[in-house]
Amino acid sequence: MNPYQLSRPALNWLLASIALVLLPLIGRVPGWLLALAAVCIAWRLLIHQGRLSYPHWSVRVLLLLGCSAGILVSFRGQIGVETAVALLVLGFLLKLLEMYQRRDALLVVYLAYLVAALALLFNQSIPLAIYQLVVLAVISTALRSVYQGSRVDGWRPLWQVLRLFGQALPITLVLFLLVPRVEPFWQLSWQQGNATTGLAEQVAPGDVARLTRSADRAFQARFDGTVPAQTQLYWRAMTLSQFDGRRWRLADGYRDQGTQQGPSAVGAAAAIERERAPLNYELILEPTGQRYMPSLALPVTFAGTLKRRQDGTLQLQNELLQRRQFALGSQLGRNLQDLPRPQDSALPQGSNPRSQAYARQLWQRSERNPQTYLQAILQLYHDRFSYTLRPPPLPGESVDQFLFDTRQGFCGHFASATAVLLRAVGIPARLVSGYQGGEWNPYEGYLTVRQYDAHAWLEAWLPPAGWVMVDPTAAVAPERVERSAEQLFARDEQFLADSPFSPMRWRGEWLNRLRMRWEAVNYSWQRWVLNYHQRQSGLFRDWLGANQLSRAVLLTTFLLGVLLALVACWLLRRNRPVPLHPCDRAFVRLQAQLAKRGLPRRPDESVSAFCQRLQQHYPEQSEQWRRLAEQYTRYRYAGEGSTEQLCVLIERCRRRLA
Cα angle: 435, vertex 437, 442; to 5 degrees:
135
What is the phi/psi pair of residue 579, to 5°?
Answer: -60, 140
* H/E segment holding residue 469: strand 466-470
Reference 5, options 111, 99, 140; nearest CA is 99
Helices (H), 444-490: 473-476, 479-482, 485-489
Q: Is the pLDDT of residue 274 over 70?
A: no
Q: What is the pLDDT of residues 296-329, one digit of tens each?
A: 988 888 887 888 888 888 988 888 877 888 999 9
Q: Where are the domains of the chain?
A: 8-178, 202-499, 507-544, 547-576, 582-657
Alpha-helix runs per DSSP H in 297-447 = 353-365, 370-384, 398-401, 411-424
Average pLDDT over residues 39-63: 86
Distances, alpha carbon 131 to alpha carbons 119, 123, 226, 517, in Å: 11, 12, 38, 21
Instruction: Fill in the amino acid letter for 347.
Output: L
Write the pLDDT tens digit of every residue in 551-597.
666 766 777 777 778 777 877 776 666 677 788 888 888 888 888 88
Q: Is the pLDDT of residue 358 over 60?
A: yes
Mean pLDDT over 468-483 rounds to: 84
pLDDT at 312 (0 to 100)? 85
Average pLDDT over residues 27-43: 88
Is there a contact between 231 and 478 (Cβ–Cβ < 8 Å)? no
pLDDT above 90 covers a percentage of the chain that reads 16
What is the SS3 string spanning 274-304?
Answer: CCCCCEEEEEEECCCCCCEECEECEEEECCC
Q: How confident is the model at residue 506 (pLDDT cuts 50, 70, 90)?
A: low
Whole-number pLDDT of residue 268: 40
Give the integer Cα–Cα distance in Å for 209 and 389.
Answer: 6
Q: Is the pLDDT of residue 29 over 60?
A: yes
Residue 541 has pLDDT above 60, yes or no: no
Name the catalytic one among 67, 471, 611, 653.
471
Instruction: State how far the Cα of 241 lies from the Cα of 458, in Å rounded to an integer.
Output: 10
Separation between Cα atoms, residue 218 and residue 215, nearest integer Å: 9
What is d(CA 62, CA 153) in angstroms, rounded to the nearest whole number? Answer: 39
Contact 229, 515 (CB under 8 A): no
40, 67, 207, 411: the catalytic one is 411
Whether 219 has a pLDDT exceeding 90, the answer reads yes
Residue of 350, 342, 376, 351 whose CA lies nearest to 362: 376
**Residue 349 pLDDT greater than 80, yes or no:** yes
Q: Which of 439, 468, 445 is nearest to 370 (CA)?
A: 468
Kindly indicate the confidence band of residue 178, based on its pLDDT and cuts at 50, 70 and 90.
Answer: low
Pairing of β 386-387 and β 408-409: parallel
Q: Is the pLDDT of residue 259 over 80?
A: no
Identify the CA nearest to 435 among candidates 214, 588, 649. 214
Looking at the predicted structure, is the pLDDT value of residue 221 above 90? yes
Of 455, 583, 611, 653, the active-site residue reads 455
pLDDT in tens, 431-465: 999 999 888 999 989 999 988 888 899 999 888 88
Report d(CA 388, CA 409) in Å as an integer.
Answer: 6
> 40 an active-site residue?
no
DSSP symbols for 519-569: HHHHHHHHHHHHHHHHHHHHHHHHHH-S-HHHHHHHHHHHHHHHHHHHHHH
- For residue 4, pLDDT over 60 is answered with no
| Whether pLDDT at 527 is above 70 | yes
Q: What is the mean pLDDT of residues 270-285?
A: 70
Cα(584)–Cα(578) distance, rounded to whole angstroms?
Answer: 12
Confidence label for 503 from pLDDT (cuts 50, 70 and 90) = low
Neighbours of 463 (CB within 10 A): 10
Give the per-residue pLDDT at 138.
93
* Residue 81 CB coordination number (10 Å): 20
What's the confidence (pLDDT) of residue 317? 85
- The predicted model gives 11-24 an average pLDDT of 90
Taking Cα atoms as reference points, which of 92, 145, 144, 147 lies closest to residue 115?
92
Active site residue 400: no
Cis peptide before 9 (omega within 30 of 0): no
Q: What is the DSSP string of 164-177?
A: HHHHHHHHHHHHHH
* Rounded CA separation 44/621 (Å): 73
Residues 53-99: tens digit of each pLDDT = 888 888 888 988 999 898 888 888 777 778 888 888 888 888 888 88
Minimum mean pLDDT range among 266-270, 405-409, 571-575, 581-585: 266-270
User: pLDDT grade, residue 520 (50/70/90)?
Assistant: confident
What's the pLDDT band for 196 if we cut at 50, 70, 90? very low
pLDDT for the residue numbered 193: 37
Mean pLDDT, residues 590-610: 86
**Residue 136 pLDDT:** 93
By mean pLDDT, which of 112-126, 280-294, 336-350, 469-483 is the weakest? 336-350
Q: Give percent of the chain with pLDDT exceeding 70.
A: 79
Average confidence score pLDDT of the chain: 80
Q: Tell me whether residue 471 is one of the annotated catalytic residues.
A: yes
The whole-number pLDDT of residue 190 equals 42
Residue pair 224/281 in contact (Cβ under 8 Å)? The answer is: yes
Residue 540 has pLDDT above 50, yes or no: yes
